[in-house]
Chains A and B, each alone.
Chain A
Amino acid sequence: MTRTPEITNVARRSVLLGLAAGSFVLAIRLPARAQEKKFGGEGMPGGVKDDPKLFLSIADDGTVNLLCIRAEMGQGIRTGFQTVIADELGADLNRVKVLQAPGNQAKFGNQDTDGSRSMRHHFLPLRRIAAATRQMLAEEAAAKWGVPVTEVKADNHGMVHGPSNRRLEFGALAKGAAARPVPPADKLVLKPVSEFRYIGKDVPLIDNLDFTTGKAVYGIDARVEGMAYAVVARPPVLGGKVKSFDAAKTMKVPGVLKVITIDPPTPPIVFQPLGGVAVIAENTFAAIKGRSQLEIQWDDGPNASYDSVQYRKTLEEAAAKPGQVVRNNGDVDKALAGAAKRLSAEYYVPHLAQAPMEPPSATARVTADACEVWVGIQNAEAIRTDLSKRFNMPIDKVTVNNLLLGGGFGRKSKPDFASEAAICSHAMGGRPVKLTFTREDDLQHSFFHTVSAERVEAGVDANGKAVAWLHRTVAPTIAALFVPGADHEMPLELAMGAVDNPFDIANFRVENPAAAAHTRVGWFRSVSNIPHAFAIQSFAAELAASLGKDPKDFLLELIGPPRLIDAAAMSDGWLYGEDPKVYPYDTGRLRAVIEKAASEAGWGRQMPKGRGLGISAHRSFVSYTAVVTEVAVSDKGEITIPRVDIAFDCGAVISPDRVRSQLEGAVVQGISLAMLGEISFKNGRPQQTNFDGYELTRIDGAPTEIRAHLVNSAAYDKPLGGVGEPGVPPVAPALTNAIFAATGKRIRSLPIRDQLAGKV
């Protein structure tokens, strides 16, 4: 295995590779004191900043301008940040404007909008920012009135002095307040929870008017004076190269300006463009038409024989044999040998593509001494790092304007499309170029969700209690992007459900046999939690069925009594980057969401023929989720989903409407991947090219009703959990468990598609 390259924007991930080389690179970079492990936002590259002067300003007319450092991709974070600031500041929500910060990690702290971290890491810093500003306004008012600051209070966008019944608007105080020193953190007084006006309440979406009138500007909508438009023909197989090409016909297409080659990446591929031939034209259509006229001979390279049907066999063979032990409690072999009953099953989840509705697109202008990029990206700093190296200029000369994202789901964590735009602009002598992925490009050149085989075996004693659990998880790893040849799941992938499994079973082992990556493996909303939860939650229901027990009761039995489990006890070395002391695994909370989803869904009610309820639960991103799904299966095997109940505990909920909408969306996305989702490979090439082959759930396949139930939503004493991702993992197994309840057919391989046709 080769040495980890410099991967600044994934520095934290590199620590977690668990590879000596990666740790070594970090060890020599960091001074001894800094090696103390930091958690949460502090543990992210760039950390967290809470200087109000960086983020908040108040205009003379009272408009509060907040610089939002997180990317908006549908999770509603712009509304969430507005809510927190307005409430803590004592402002009128409608007078708080939210502007998007350009990328600048050194200045603003970490901006990587990923891992369901935005509110989890920023709720308190935002409150500190607003509280400090409020105190500066109060001091200014007190000085003007000559009264003690303790007698001055914020009241709906103004400061009031009760005893003398005087009031000054924020706008009138802004200039003086801004000149005052920022109070130190230990002098800040945060608003009592009981006085929240917006936090925890439903508020309108800040971008509602723009969203409904076409005025919202996404990355793909950037318009820069004089810009040209480009598309790229990329090698159809990962690792392929252009052997030769002829652009004569392309150059005859009206509007085509230039054809250039882009070099293939040198390993490790990280987030580099794949290389190929770019066509630059006067508009997107001319570029697409020009590309269709290219004649390119490809050298397909080492992955030319990648075939997902064959590869599935490879994964399943690996899952049948022992592999690297990544968690071990008790003696599983002995317990299995002595078990009254043994059961095992294998599960399969194929590659997926994130397929955000806005395909990757970026506009760049690269001149001799500066780069500017307009884009919707989850991780703006990754672009800055790449372009500053690529064009050999200081990072401060790379400006990234972050616009709205038309969905991200992990695809837009990677800056490859912005790099391509910049390469094209550079080739055009500094003319700005908008680079767009067509949908075909997006599906053929994704950073695909991994493909996995999961084998689970359990032993049960004579009383029907599970006494042994053996889980083998086999899947190519994201680490292969950074370390060529990496073939074991990283600790962070394993700690997405496989090792951090709370089941109360004395003999417990998780193994991770090797699996080589033959395509780019990236992250897809909730990442490895998808296959892990699918296997574990399916198998729990299978065990229940084989023992003749109710699946919900048996799931609770497996989880065991309410208790706090330390991450280390489960060999979880990641815990989503959080402090194990602050975030123990609380099985009581998992049990509570199960009870909530079950009672809301009417668990146990009599179902007519062909109908069934399925249950599943999973903790991820330090939040707890349970799902009960009702399915109806016709005698032809067609599946409809009348209703899904999803119960969710992320601790305190800042924006209930946005959390509910994330859960609704997670249910639909989970159903989409379970019913339809698959990218398959043949001759190294993805076989799906557009939404006809890579089908997504449409309105007629979505559940008729999705009911989201928030548990512990006012628990401000608990640390916050993530919201964007944790809704997804339990959705697929709840669906297949419901199908089992309705039909007696067990689906172990996704997608479901027409597996029931003719079998019911």
Chain B
Amino acid sequence: MSKFTVNGKAQDFNGDPETPLLWYLRDIAGMTGTKFGCGQALCGACTVHLDGTATRSCQVQVGSIDGKSVITIEGLSADGNHPVQKAWRDLNVAQCGYCQTGQIMQAASLLKDTPKPTDQQILDAMSGNICRCGTYPRIRAAIKRASGAA
């Protein structure tokens, strides 16, 4: 049995404790904003904030997060107006959009820790997130746009 919160709501899970948080969120809690891309910490599509830090939810077993707090894209902001989300819309960053919830969660975590990242800090923080559509130049620009405001 594992008790934790997702976007502030208490969760009780007594299924297989090895279940990755990713599949708990998607299949059991029915929150599909967190995406599956690789299952191996190679793409970042599944990024959530675990106790405030960007984390690959495909690598976190639900049995190991007792007492922790999870924020997903659905809970990043009440109205979708986190500065990173706004910057993403201002620059029409998305193509297919599939990777973007993970990108946004990663970028929000970066800007929380490093409000004004250098170019190199942006590359370092974001290089774990793959975008097959190739939106990288706009991701970079959107992070700069949100920087200082997040």
Chain A contact residues, CB within 8 Å of chain B: 72-76, 204-205, 207-218, 220-221, 223, 229, 254-255, 283-286, 288-289, 355-359, 404-409, 436, 438-439, 657, 661-662, 664-669, 672, 690-692, 696-700, 702-706
Contacts and interface: CB of A to CB of B under 8 A. Distances in A.
B130 A664 contact: no
A310 to B, nearest CB: 29
Given A215-B33, A355-B132, 19 more contacts: A205-B94, A209-B80, A209-B89, A212-B89, A212-B104, A214-B33, A214-B74, A288-B39, A356-B96, A357-B43, A357-B133, A358-B35, A404-B97, A404-B98, A439-B37, A691-B38, A699-B127, A699-B140, A702-B137
A207 B94 contact: yes
Nearest to A283: B27
Nearest to B23: A285
A284 B43 CA distance: 19
Nearest to B42: A691
B8 interface: no
B32 A205 contact: no
Contacts of A73: 96
Contacts of A404: 96-98
B148 interface: no
Contacts of B99: 357, 406
B101 interface: yes
Contacts of B33: 213-215
B20 interface: yes
Nearest to B101: A214
A220 B95 CA distance: 17
A213 B79 CA distance: 9
B146 to A, nearest CB: 12
Contacts of B42: 439, 690-692
Nearest to A405: B96
Contacts of B100: 211-212
B16 interface: yes
Nearest to B131: A357
Interface in B30-88: 30-40, 42-43, 45, 72-74, 76, 80, 85, 88
Determine chain B's interface SS by DSSP, over half rule: loop
A487 B133 CA distance: 32
B139 interface: yes
B92 A699 contact: no
A25 B84 CA distance: 56
B6 interface: no
Given A255-B16, A283-B23, A692-B42, A221 B134 contact: no
Contacts of A699: 122-123, 126-127, 129, 131, 136, 139-140
Nearest to B26: A284
A706 B72 CA distance: 31
B136 A74 contact: no
B36 A74 contact: no
B16 A357 contact: no
Given A254-B15, A357-B130, A439-B39, A205 B92 contact: yes
B98 A358 contact: yes
Given A661-B92, A706-B137, A700 B40 contact: no
A518 B145 CA distance: 49
Interface in B107-145: 122-124, 126-140
A331 B94 CA distance: 51
Q: Which 4 A-B pairs have the closest CB atoms?
A: A214-B33, A668-B134, A406-B98, A74-B96
Nearest to A207: B97
Contacts of A668: 131, 133-136
Contacts, number: 199
Contacts of B74: 213-215
Interface in B18-32: 18-20, 23, 26-28, 30-32
Contacts of B124: 700
A471 B42 CA distance: 40
A215 B40 CA distance: 24
A405 B140 CA distance: 24
B135 A700 contact: no
18 contacts: A207-B97, A211-B97, A212-B89, A212-B94, A213-B74, A218-B35, A255-B15, A284-B23, A285-B20, A286-B16, A356-B132, A357-B133, A358-B96, A666-B134, A668-B131, A669-B133, A690-B42, A700-B126
B74 to A, nearest CB: 5
Contacts of B28: 283
A312 B137 CA distance: 35
A698 B27 contact: no
B49 to A, nearest CB: 13
B127 to A, nearest CB: 4
Contacts of B126: 698-700
Given A283-B23, A698-B130, A213 B80 contact: yes
Given A214-B73, A702-B136, A661 B38 contact: no
Given A664-B134, A666-B134, A76 B95 contact: yes
Nearest to A253: B16
Contacts of B18: 285, 289
A477 B111 CA distance: 48
Contacts of B139: 699
Contacts of B15: 254-255
A552 to B, nearest CB: 25
A204 B92 contact: yes
Contacts of A72: 96
A208 B137 contact: no
A255 B92 CA distance: 41
Given A74-B96, A213-B85, A284-B23, A223 B30 contact: yes
A208 B137 CA distance: 17
Given A690-B40, A690-B42, A285 B97 contact: no
Given A283-B19, A657-B92, A702-B134, A691 B40 contact: yes
A537 to B, nearest CB: 20
A376 to B, nearest CB: 9
Contacts of A406: 35, 96-99
Contacts of B43: 357, 439, 691
A109 B122 CA distance: 46
Contacts of B23: 283-285
A665 B139 CA distance: 12
B140 A665 contact: no
A635 B32 CA distance: 46
A629 B53 CA distance: 37
A439 B123 CA distance: 24
A48 B129 CA distance: 39
A417 B131 CA distance: 22
Q: Which of B28, B39, B139 counts the most chain A CB atoms within 10 A?
A: B39
A395 B76 CA distance: 43
A669 B134 contact: yes
Contacts of B94: 74, 205, 207-208, 211-212
Contacts of B73: 213-214
A229 B27 contact: yes
Contacts of A408: 96
B89 A357 contact: no
A692 B128 CA distance: 11
A73 B36 CA distance: 17
A696 B128 CA distance: 11
Nearest to A285: B23
Given A212-B89, A661-B95, A223 B136 contact: no
A254 B16 contact: yes
Contacts of B40: 439, 690-692
